[in-house]
């Protein structure tokens, strides 16, 4: 009985975690639209990266990048390059599902996170 209850609890937690990591797709689409109209790429990218993170990643990795259901990202650039971070965002890793961001969004967030050392 304990195993069955534990399985149900674990399964529910996993489903909740995966659903929460997806964030708000509509907000991510709005941000991508804003990025295409931005004239200042370097300044806009940092702001866009923060918005994309807030809308799609914060629920698992924390508002201050300190972690939660997912690992801390506050010093992720010390361990992974922008290309490696991009690959994780696109393909997923461990319990993190892939495809939460499109290629352009993943590039923006990966560059931003790679600077966190």
Is 58 annotated as a binding-site member?
no
Q: Answer for the pair 23, 55: CB distance below 8 angstroms, yes or no.
A: yes
Backbone angles phi, psi at 4, to 5 degrees: -65, -45
What's CA 22's distance to the chain center, in Å?
8
61 labelled as ligand-binding? yes
Q: Is 96 annotated as a binding residue?
A: yes
- Residue 21 known to bind ligand: no
Measured CA distances, 26 to 23, 32, 83, 102 (Å)? 9, 10, 26, 13
3-class SS at 93? strand
Residues forming the annotated binding site? 57, 60-61, 96
Residues forming the annotated binding site for heme c? 57, 60-61, 96
């Amino acid at each position: 009985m304990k195993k069955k209850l534990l399985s149900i609890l674990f399964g529910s937690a996993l489903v909740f975690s995966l659903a929460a990591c997806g964030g708000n797709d509509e907000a991510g689409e709005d941000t991508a639209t804003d990025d295409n109209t931005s004239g200042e790429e370097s300044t806009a990218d940092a702001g866009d990266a923060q918005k994309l993170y807030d809308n799609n990643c914060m629920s698992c990795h924390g508002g201050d990048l300190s972690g939660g259901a997912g690992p801390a990202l506050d010093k992720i650039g010390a361990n992974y390059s922008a290309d490696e971070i991009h690959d994780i965002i696109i393909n997923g890793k461990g319990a993190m599902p892939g495809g939460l961001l499109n290629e352009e969004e993943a590039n923006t967030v990966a560059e931003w996170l790679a600077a966190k050392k």
